[in-house]
Structure 1
Amino acid sequence: MELSPRNLAIISYLKEHSEVQIEHLATLFEVTTQTIRRDVNLLCEQGLARRIHGGLSLPANLTNSSYQFRREIECDAKMAIAQAVARQIPVGSTVMMGIGTSMAYVAHFLAGFTELRVITNNLQVAKTLENSPNIEVYLSGGLVRCDHQDVVGQTTLKFFADFEADIGLVGCSSVTSNHTAMEHEPQEAEISKAIITNARQNWLLADASKWERFGSVKVANLSEFSRIFTNKTGLPNELPVSTVS
């Protein structure tokens, strides 16, 4: 189910304050407590919040949230980063594209390319590019994760290993204070590592919100990427950062 603007606003409030009471949300959004409880039920059902006495808080989970919710978060920043990435990809390139919502935004800007080969496990990337006559799309087999709109598993890792790409595009769930890109699940990190191994250049897409989150599985240090596309400011000069405003 698509989240309403109020649902997204509640999540934004939780990100800032960690927890909140039902009565306060009702006052904040000028609706009844019954209306807020329906919002709470929806967010909890989707694993985006958890109930506490008299209110709700952020979930204490290590798994990624639903694809639709992640697509909405920081969507303007992701769109700007995706456009900047697409502009830097040479026509005729072979590009690997990994998991995450940012890849779908990149695919949107690649759709008009006159020549391109895309190798991906991302279902939304394949769907976005399926009607582009000048783009070859290779989609991996494996375990389909409907909530995340991707394919994972050993079959997917072998699939990436059968190619050598000009550019590998990966995202991440978070970035640590010592500049390490992280993922929530081992199978997600394995996908990104497979792309890094099998591409001559590796580009990381990470909007500024990734520095505010936590992931438990290491992917790579930021220094290992050829380029980093982000709207995060204040990063060390030695990192290969392309700042997107």
Structure 2
Amino acid sequence: MVQNFREPQILEIARAEGKVKVEDLARRFDVTVQTIRRDLTELAEAGKLERVHGGAVLPSGVSNIGYEDRRGLNSDAKSGIARLCARAIPEDASLFLNIGTSTEAVARELLHHRNLMVVTNNINVANILVANPDCQIVLAGGILRRSDGGLTGDLTTRTIEQFKVDFAIIGCSAVDEDGDLLDFDVQEVGVSKAIIRQARTTFLVADQSKFTRSAPARIASLRDVGAVFSDAPLPGDLAQKCAEWGTEVHIS
């Protein structure tokens, strides 16, 4: 592939926003939509993007996007989602926060909550919440994943099973059209399943890019979630399914 000057910039936009649209890119670069379609086709053939109707998204596959790239992906949207979710968490509550940049955003929004107890398998969440003197932090043991500060494995699951908390706040790598929550790491999925079992109410925090991606391992269904917090209306008939399941949908 002979790379033109637009393609690195298109990839940067995709990493920042999770998705690129043909018409938006044509206006941005002042070229025809046919030119942008050719650019996206070349990037897709190189495995750097995945074509979808009207544009392209970051490729899904069987491995996740790098942690630092995920941290910068849709950061403004994640902050808005986190603020909305944090408002649904009362003070004097106990909760789980799992691995992910979205749950880290929620942790930042909980810094002024009083009398919290947080159980987490995310070292980054623990480091954020240290700044809240009114928050008791329980860090689940397990195997440290250096790439993102996550703790996974049987020890992590056994620690989580010692608690029954008011709320679980979880993220995931993808949500498919059937409402299944998906992830890439099987051990992480096992921990997330335990978190859901041990919580009275589960909240999912997921920006709109998660609804255009795929991953191979299933965590649960939106049917098992009390509420989902996102930055855009759910695609397809997921909103209707959530209404039938009793799953609340909150859009930031």
Normalised TM-score (structure 1): 0.78
Distance in 2 between residues matched to 1:154 and 1:240, nearest whole Å = 30
Question: Which string of whole-angstrom CA distances, capped at 9 and with x for unpartnered residues, describes residues 114-138 of structure 1?
Answer: 2100000011110101132110000
Report the counterpart of residue 249 of structure 2 in structure 1. Answer: 242
Question: For 1:9, what is the secondary structure of its paired residue?
Answer: helix
1:197 aligns with 2:192: no
- Tell me if structure 2 keeps the 8 A contact 1:183–1:216: yes
- Tell me if structure 1 keeps the 8 A contact 2:16–2:72: no
Amino acid in structure 1 at the alignment position of 2:13? A
- Tell me if structure 1 keeps the 8 A contact 2:98–2:170: yes
Q: Which runs of 5+ in 1 are unaligned?
A: 18-27, 29-50
CA, structure 1 residues 138+176, in 2 after alignment: closer, same or farther (shift >3 Å)? same
1:9 aligns with 2:13: yes
Report the counterpart of residue 218 of structure 2 in structure 1. Answer: 218
Could you tell me how far 1:9 is from its partner in structure 2? 2.4
Report the counterpart of residue 72 of structure 1 in structure 2. Answer: 72
Question: Which string of whole-angstrom CA distances, capped at 9 and with x for unpartnered residues, describes residues 2-36 of structure 1?
Answer: xx98863264699548xxxxxxxxxx6xxxxxxxx
- Tell me if structure 2 keeps the 8 A contact 1:67–1:149: no
Report the counterpart of residue 41 of structure 1 in structure 2. Answer: none
Report the counterpart of residue 149 of structure 1 in structure 2. Answer: 149
Please give the residue correspondences for 1:77-226 in structure 2 after superposition, counting only pairs within 5 Å.
77-226=77-226
Question: Which sits farther off after the overlay, 234-243 or 110-119?
Answer: 234-243
Distance in 2 between residues matched to 1:170 and 1:14, nearest whole Å = 19
Please provide the CA RMSD for this pair: 2.9
Could you tell me how far 1:160 is from its partner in structure 2? 0.4
From 46, 57, 66, the counterpart of 2:48: 57
Structure 1 residue ranges (4+ consecutive) displaced by more than 3 angstroms after TM superposition: 4-7, 10-17, 58-61
- Tell me if structure 2 keeps the 8 A contact 1:230–1:244: yes
What is the aligned-residue identity percentage? 31
Distance in 1 between residues matched to 2:60 and 2:206, nearest whole Å = 22
Could you tell me how far 1:76 is from its partner in structure 2? 1.4
Question: For 2:200, what is the secondary structure of its paired residue?
Answer: strand
Normalised TM-score (structure 2): 0.75
- Tell me if structure 2 keeps the 8 A contact 1:111–1:129: yes
Question: For 1:57, what is the secondary structure of its paired residue?
Answer: coil
- Tell me if structure 2 keeps the 8 A contact 1:80–1:244: no
Distance in 2 between residues matched to 1:190 and 1:159, nearest whole Å = 13
Amino acid in structure 2 at the alignment position of 1:75? S
Distance in 2 between residues matched to 1:13 and 1:118, nearest whole Å = 30
